[in-house]
Structure 1
Amino acid sequence: MLNSFHFTYPFFLLLLPLFALSTLLFNQEKESFYIPHFLQLLSHVKKKHYAREILKWAMITCMTVALSDPVAVKKIKAVKSNAVDIVLALDTSGSMSTYGFNEKNYKQSRLDVVKEVVKSFIDMRKSDRIGLVIFGTTAAIASPLSFDKEAQKNIVGKIEVGVIGKSTALIDALVSSAALLKNAKSKSKIIILLSDGEDSASKIPLAFALKLAKKYSIKIYTITIDKSYSNMMKVIASKNGAQNFEVQNKKDLLKVYKRIDRLQKSELEYNTLDVEEHIYFYFLLFSLLCAILLVEHVKTRGVL
């Protein structure tokens, strides 16, 4: 939408009154002859005269405007996003194959339900970078931090139970997640750690993982599927000023991810940018068109 209009070299517009003045002052007087019945031809002569004058002045005017370099200014609203960097750490151990987590479809495993809910969460975070870490007997980075939501959902869809072992290296997954976030420049860095059991395979102590998260200002939300025999998930969340959630079914899991989505909203700032477009070309083109028509008019009428 056009918001303003100005000329880069407005002084060239002074040529227009000079052209008009010179036409009035230097118009040559022509000899007059008396011709009987001339009035019958007058309307035809006037039409020829008007067409020539209109084309001539349209050409001069557009050429002068083009020399003045007209500029159209448009205001565009730009969005500056203070995005959140999020790592989703997902348990793929053997216990995630358990059925019955979805009350409406008992044939779905825990991991299948988690994959559905995680995909919907990824769609919610349109302005954020998301990374994926999966863990079983070991931990692995499934996706670096990225804005490519479709690629991440595709990766989530291909995750299978036991893909990297059937044990639970929960703390190792925290360290891998922190490694993804440590160099991030965003103001908010969070890990959402989901598991259905105790740590049984990590090689790194919990104290080191918590120290790493604190050093890089990473907040860790934990989601426990069913009640674990360990308080580790609660300890991890409480040490980072976040929260542990316990879920019993798919409905609970959906509520938890929606709640985390509300707690960790991206901040959007709106700036207005002025975009200038130099439009002299259109006036120059129209001036050239008028010149061509004027030449054709002179050829057919034989009068300049």
Structure 2
Amino acid sequence: MIDLALPWVLLALPLPIFMYLLPPKKNTEAAPLKMPILVSSSGPKTQLGDRQKTPISLLVLIWLLLVVSASQPQWLGEPVNIPTEGRELMVAVDLSGSMQVEDMNLNGRTVNRLDMLKVLLGNFIDRRVGDRIGLILFGDDAYMQTPMTFDRETVKQMLDETVLGLVGKQTAIGDAIALAVKRFAEKEQSNRVLLLLTDGQNTAGKILPEQALELAIAEEVTIYSVGIGADVMIQRSLFGKRRVNPSSELDEKTLTTLAESTGGKYFRARSSQDMEEIYQILDKLEPVEQEQQQMRPLTALFYYPLALAALLTFIYILWINASMYRPFSTNKTQKLGDSNG
């Protein structure tokens, strides 16, 4: 919708009418100088008088455009939610080789752990309106894939584009925590939450999980750790089927210590249903900021009537100049005709 920042300026619209209705001022003084009549009373004088008639409609339109421009018209866009100060949520995703184990059932089909994570974690990110979310990928080392941002769609896109083996086949849990803590330390104080998703134990990196834990406690970072992987998986071989535990290397003790020491919680995700329930619990433990502020984007429009008024003023000036000089050219032509006759 169109709005006026200074609507009271429109009160000046009828000002020319009041000026027109004022009684003319009587001039009792004699003219100090009388100008000779340059044009005869025939033909050309009448033409000059016609051309010098002021185009009232044009002047009224120019005045109208100037007053409207001075009232500062502006376009109000649709209301947009402004995220208030929420949480800084860093998500650390394990991309080690074991994440390719296909022991998860998603929508009736068997998928590997990473594919399941992409779908359910993407849904969780969609619900975190108002949080600044970052994405860390870790394997042999830890890398910042997406810095802290309110743009959840970008975080989801970067998550969807991840592939197994992108950062190596081992698991650097300590480096991932340390990198998250470092990013938190660069920001202002807020509710700092790290969601750590892994299916193994620390086998790489320069920083041990115990050392990273000390950094997290010092920076008041809350860690929620999630151990991914089924307890039982059926494998087929030449000798038939056998039951194995695909999560035998999962270090639940360390993940529990990391979470509880920072005021967080450890979760065990043995299936896609467990993972969805975990995300719902996290929504309750770390609720999304409910108070939303709204703004309506403003687009200034005053320069449109102002530019049109300037254009019409320029046309009016050209019209006045043409009215002043064209009669003399006509009169001169008439005199030359008389002399030739």
TM-score normalised by L of structure 1:
0.68
| SS of structure 1 residue aligned to 2:292 | strand
- Aligned residue among 181, 206, 212 for 1:209: 212
| Alpha-carbon distance, 1:8 to partner | 5.0
- Aligned residue among 247, 250, 270 for 1:248: 270
Aligned CA distance change for structure 1 residues 273 and 98 (closer, same or farther; 3 Å):
closer
Question: Which letter does structure 2 place at the counterpart of 1:230?
Answer: E
Partner of 1:63: 62
Structure 1 unmatched ranges of 5 or more: 27-52, 294-304
Partner of 1:97: 100
> Does structure 1 residue 183 correspond to structure 2 residue 186?
yes
Question: Which letter does structure 2 place at the counterpart of 1:19?
Answer: Y
> Does structure 1 residue 237 correspond to structure 2 residue 241?
no
Structure 2 unmatched ranges of 5 or more: 28-52, 232-249, 320-341
Partner of 1:85: 88
Counterpart CA distance in 1 for 2:318 and 2:8 is 26
Counterpart CA distance in 2 for 1:174 and 1:85 is 14
Counterpart CA distance in 2 for 1:193 and 1:123 is 18
Alignment of 1:129-144 (within 5 A): 129-144=132-147
| Alpha-carbon distance, 1:191 to partner | 1.3
Alignment of 1:155-194 (within 5 A): 155-185=158-188, 187-194=190-197
Residues 73, 274 of structure 1: 8 Å contact kept = no
> Does structure 1 residue 114 correspond to structure 2 residue 137?
no
Counterpart CA distance in 1 for 2:167 and 2:317 is 77
TM-score normalised by L of structure 2:
0.62
| Alpha-carbon distance, 1:183 to partner | 0.9
Aligned CA distance change for structure 1 residues 258 and 57 (closer, same or farther; 3 Å):
farther
Aligned residues: 271
Aligned CA distance change for structure 1 residues 86 and 282 (closer, same or farther; 3 Å):
same
Higher relative contact order (CA closer than 8 Å, sequence separation 6+):
1
Residues 83, 186 of structure 1: 8 Å contact kept = no
Aligned CA distance change for structure 1 residues 79 and 282 (closer, same or farther; 3 Å):
farther
Partner of 1:300: none
Per-residue CA deviations over 1:25-51 (Å, capped at 9, x if unaligned) read 99xxxxxxxxxxxxxxxxxxxxxxxxx
Aligned CA distance change for structure 1 residues 58 and 239 (closer, same or farther; 3 Å):
farther
Partner of 1:268: 292
Per-residue CA deviations over 1:61-81 (Å, capped at 9, x if unaligned) read 333334545314556656432
| SS of structure 2 residue aligned to 1:231 | helix
| Alpha-carbon distance, 1:213 to partner | 2.0
| Alpha-carbon distance, 1:204 to partner | 2.3
Question: Which letter does structure 2 place at the counterpart of 1:58?
Answer: S
| Alpha-carbon distance, 1:283 to partner | 5.7
Counterpart CA distance in 2 for 1:222 and 1:158 is 23
Cα RMSD, aligned residues only? 4.1
> Does structure 1 residue 6 correspond to structure 2 residue 7?
yes
Residues 139, 172 of structure 1: 8 Å contact kept = yes
Residues 196, 223 of structure 2: 8 Å contact kept = yes
Per-residue CA deviations over 1:205-227 (Å, capped at 9, x if unaligned) read 43432232233332222112247
Question: Which moves more between the two structures, 251-260 or 141-150?
Answer: 141-150
Aligned CA distance change for structure 1 residues 164 and 72 (closer, same or farther; 3 Å):
closer
Question: Which letter does structure 1 place at the counterpart of 2:264?
Answer: A
Counterpart CA distance in 1 for 2:169 and 2:145 is 17
| Alpha-carbon distance, 1:127 to partner | 4.9
Q: Which has the larger radius of gyration?
A: 2
Aligned CA distance change for structure 1 residues 61 and 160 (closer, same or farther; 3 Å):
closer
Could you tell me the percent identity over the aligned residues?
A: 23
Residues 170, 199 of structure 1: 8 Å contact kept = yes
Counterpart CA distance in 2 for 1:237 and 1:153 is 25
Question: Which letter does structure 2 place at the counterpart of 1:15?
Answer: P
Aligned CA distance change for structure 1 residues 7 and 208 (closer, same or farther; 3 Å):
same
| SS of structure 2 residue aligned to 1:143 | strand
Counterpart CA distance in 1 for 2:310 and 2:142 is 66
| Alpha-carbon distance, 1:131 to partner | 2.3
Aligned CA distance change for structure 1 residues 93 and 284 (closer, same or farther; 3 Å):
closer
